[in-house]
Amino acid sequence: MSLQQTLAVVLQVMDHGDADKIVTCYSENLGKLSGIAKGAKRSKKRFVNKLEPFSLLDLSYEESRTSSLMRIDQAELVSAFPTLRSNYHRYTAATLLCEQMLQWTREHDADPDLFALLRWALTNLEQGQPAFATVILFEIRMLDLLGYKPDLSGCLRCGHLTPAQRPYHFSTSRSGLICKACNRETEHGQVPVSLETARLLHAAQHMAGNKLDRLHFSPDAVRESLTLLRRYDHHLLQREINSWPHFLASLPLAG
């Protein structure tokens, strides 16, 4: 089999025996992929400091005839994102992004837009953009790309999104907003959401990617958005993403 190349972000690395490492990445050309890097624990030249979570690599790999694991031949470091390893808050944010990619994506199911979104979010965090806003924007766009875009345009029943219809709730099971007048049932899985937050998240769904940084999230909007997204994640995956509590606990008030 011939050697192939792709850009890839390292999501997870595990030791394998005395000498090898098993690396799981999200790649531009193949989606999620797992590969074995033979001799990675010994080879100073080919892999040193490259096979680390968050690193953006130019991978050379070969498919195996006998296993779903690729054979990783070489890795060139495109970006190490060093700040993500030295700042705890940014580290927990990047860890959350990587766990999301591990949970939500499948092997051999490429989505170049999702790869670009992950690269954008890691670059944002590395450059010191607010971590909470980056995570919110990543999550809302990721749900769209995966086909789970929540409907934040107005109440699911009456269509309104106005101050008169407050308070609004987000229904995780119906993937959208319910206004006060239409909310006659006591339904499990409702998350309170203000008009400000609903409008911000709705704007984030439709804004061009290069303009997302213009959205400003107040501390209240941050708290509400993160609560909503975490609960929606949990409902869709039917399990908790382990990194959510670590990220939320690391959240500094200012950023």
> Which residues would be at the binding site for Zn ion (CB under 5 A)?
155, 157-158, 179, 182
Nearer to Zn ion, 184 or 188 (CB): 184
Residue 115 C-alpha from the chain's centroid? 10
Q: Coil, strand or helix: which one is 135? A: helix
164 or 208: whose CB is closer to Zn ion?
A: 164
The least CB distance from residue 174 to Zn ion, in Å, is 12
d(CA 90, CA 201): 22
Task: Dig out the tokens for 227 from the structure.
Answer: 């609560």
Nearer to Zn ion, 85 or 160 (CB): 160
Question: Least distance from C-beta 153 to Zn ion, angstroms?
Answer: 12
Cβ 70 vs Cβ 34: under 8 Å: yes
| Secondary structure of residue 154 in the 3-state scheme | strand
Nearer to Zn ion, 77 or 182 (CB): 182
**Short-list 222, 220, 79, CA closest to 137:** 222
**How far is 14 from 30, CA to CA, in rounded Å?**
20
Position with the least CB separation from Zn ion: 155
**Nearest to 152, CA basis, from 95, 221, 218:** 221
- In terms of DSSP H, where are the helices of 105-175? 112-126, 131-146
State the minimum distance, in angstroms, from the CB of residue 177 to Zn ion.
8
Nearer to Zn ion, 72 or 155 (CB): 155
| Residues shown for the chain | 255
- In whole angstroms, the minimum distance from the beta carbon of 204 to Zn ion comes to 22
For the bound state, the minimum distance from the C-beta of residue 156 to Zn ion, rounded and expressed in Å, comes to: 7
